[in-house]
DNA sequence: CGCGGGGTTGAACATTCTCAAGAACTGTGG
DNA sequence: CCACAGTTCTTGAGAATGTTCAACCCCGCG
């Protein structure tokens, strides 16, 4: 990054086209764009950096931007009516959030917190909408992404509604295994057990016990450092 | 409806432009269309009727249409990995389903069953996509609708993850009250208690007991015919 | 009038949470 | 590199919550 860029914007806010393009080209909804389209949307983007622990947005705040993670890691969580926290998802480099406010002109309902030092790239609602009207095929891409997320969210709801904790854990481990490309039987949990408990709608204590149970039954083997070896996938899924 | 139309199509499948327009004009994502646009999309639509109890689509089936309810009532439900059923939503006249398959070229993950004799209006994926590319502003409408649904689904997930059954019931009753326009304190449950239990991720027995508890505590009063009087809304929400 | 489904109630049981205490790990400053 | 502080994680015991199964009621409908 050139030093002039840093001086132009207050705080930690820059506008570096190359960085934006590198970032955005990772995002599924944008990575099929042509060069000129990419450039066109990128000139409207802004970079902002957050330190570990900083809150990027809160429930109730007005919002009008899409946030794409340039590098870093963000935790999205909600507070229920009775004040309990649930982890909704962890975002890594190339993923995005803020989509609701983008189209609904409403306020955030969740919280976004930087888990490590994180740099995001923001695109304003007005800019994106204009862009979508100009290139309609991109809307179809986003619609596809949205409907997939909706489907996943409903599946998750059904799991909470009908499966007991042990099953939810087993299903989670199985999905981790699916998404790890290598054939190795070992998976790495994408978050701390504390956060995983929150994601799965249970407590750290119960999660710890259920993992121990699954280990006793010979389905998995817990290693150091969030690593778990899946010994018997089929057995795991019959829990 | 003209009799020629009926003869053209086998079974119970018609193509009656006026019916379609009457139906589609109720749908939030279409009701802002101009006359000619409405006509244009409607000529591609098809009507199909289902008898009470018939399955409109099943999980695993290929699908490529949006279903809009012309009149009647449909129950959307899912089966979890372990085979338990959860009611996802009840659709009434003017509401739609099938949106996932519309953009993802995938199979259904849920089941749709006619709760009463029902007439739906179907629009094919290819027709709708062509239409959206021609009129990009409609995509923005649909994106708005999708992102709202996604937000709601995530809220629901968080409730299942963090609230106990009694609270989920109380929140449901409160939302019923919100959506009933009249100022009357009496609400009418939109489904049987058996279905409501499935929707709320519990059993009919527990639902029955919790409602009795809420009544004992003086927050509500159960009348005949799925009617419930909300006596103390604030108290209800502190449960 | 009897049938059947929805709804309710009771009692035993299963699951999960809470609280508390201790162990293991992580990162930081010396 | 070590010691310490602040976590995260684990384990135990008891309490709270919810489910299951079985019996029964009630009402609408043929």
CA A75 to CA B78: how far, in whole Å?
29
CB nearest B84 (choices: A78, A103, A162) = A162
**What's the average model confidence in pLDDT over B75-88?**
92
How many of the other CB atoms lie within 10 Å of CB of B188? 11
Residue A4 pLDDT exceeds 70: no
Over residues B100-114, the pLDDT tens digits come to 878 887 899 999 999
Copy the structure tokens of residue B44: 């591609």
CB nearest A151 (choices: B109, B133, B201) = B109
Residue B17 confidence (pLDDT): 60
Residue A78 pLDDT exceeds 60: yes
CA B101 to CA B124: how far, in whole Å?
10
Give the predicted TM-score (pTM) of the model.
0.86
Q: How far is CA B171 from CA B132, B159, B177, in A?
A: 37, 9, 10
Q: How far is CA B120 from CA B24, B88, B134, B221, in A?
A: 10, 19, 25, 37
CA B109 to CA A156: how far, in whole Å?
12
Q: Which of A87-101, A184-198, B20-34, B54-68 has the lowest mean pLDDT?
A: B20-34
Residue B205 confidence (pLDDT): 96
User: Which of chain B's residues have a Cβ under 8 Å away from the Cβ of A166?
Assistant: none
Q: Is A203 helix (H, G, I), strand (E, B) or coil?
A: coil
Q: How far is CA B104 from the centre of its chain?
A: 20
Residue A12 pLDDT exceeds 60: no
Residue A22 confidence (pLDDT): 63
Over residues B137-148, the pLDDT tens digits come to 888 888 888 888
Residue A217 pLDDT exceeds 50: yes
Closest chain A residue by Cα to residue B160? A160
Residue B223 pLDDT exceeds 80: yes
Query: Tokens 């060069």 identify what position?
Result: A35
Please give, one letter per residue, the 3-state secondary structure of chain B. CCHHHHHHCCCCEECCHHHHHHHHCCCCCCCCCCHHHHHHHHCCCEEEEECCCCEEECCCCECCEEEEEEECEEEEEEECCCCCEEEEEEEECCCEECHHHHHHCCECCCEEEECCCEEEEEEEHHHHHHHHHHCHHHHHHHHHHHHHHHHHHHHHHHHHHHCCHHHHHHHHHHHHHHHCCCCCCEEECCCCHHHHHHHCCCCHHHHHHHHHHHHHCCCEEECCCCEEEECCHHHHHHC
User: Across chain B, what does the average pLDDT equal?
Assistant: 85
Taking CB atoms and an 8 Å limit, are A146 and B146 in contact across chains? yes
Residue B24 pLDDT exceeds 70: no
For chain A, percent of residues with pLDDT exceeding 70: 88
Residue B37 confidence (pLDDT): 76
Which domains can be identified in chain B, with CATH numbers? 3-153 (2.60.120.10), 163-236 (1.10.10.10)
CA B166 to CA B26: how far, in whole Å?
35
Residue A80 pLDDT exceeds 70: yes
Taking CB atoms and an 8 Å limit, are B100 and A144 in contact across chains? no
């Amino acid at each position: 990054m050139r030093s002039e860029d840093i001086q132009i914007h207050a705080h930690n806010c820059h506008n570096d086209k190359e960085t934006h393009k590198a970032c955005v080209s990772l995002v599924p909804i944008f990575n099929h764009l042509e060069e000129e389209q990419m450039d066109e949307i990128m000139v409207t983007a802004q970079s902002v950096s957050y330190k570990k622990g900083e809150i990027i947005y809160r429930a109730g705040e007005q919002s009008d931007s899409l946030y794409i993670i340039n590098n870093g890691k963000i935790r999205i969580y909600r507070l229920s009516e009775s004040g309990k926290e649930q982890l909704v998802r962890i975002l890594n480099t190339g993923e995005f959030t803020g989509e609701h406010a983008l189209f609904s002109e409403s306020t955030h309902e969740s919280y976004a917190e930087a888990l490590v030092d994180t740099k995001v790239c923001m695109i304003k609602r007005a800019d994106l909408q204009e862009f979508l009207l100009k290139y309609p095929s991109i809307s179809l891409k986003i619609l596809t992404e949205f409907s997939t997320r909706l489907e996943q969210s409903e599946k998750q709801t059904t799991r909470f509604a009908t499966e007991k904790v042990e099953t939810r854990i087993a299903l989670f481990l199985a999905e981790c295994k699916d998404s790890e490309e290598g054939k190795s039987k070992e998976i790495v949990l994408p978050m701390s057990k504390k956060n995983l408990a929150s994601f799965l709608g249970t407590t750290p204590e119960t999660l710890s016990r259920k993992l121990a149970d699954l280990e006793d039954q010979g389905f998995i083997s817990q290693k150091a450092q969030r690593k778990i070896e899946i010994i018997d996938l089929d057995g795991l899924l019959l829990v």
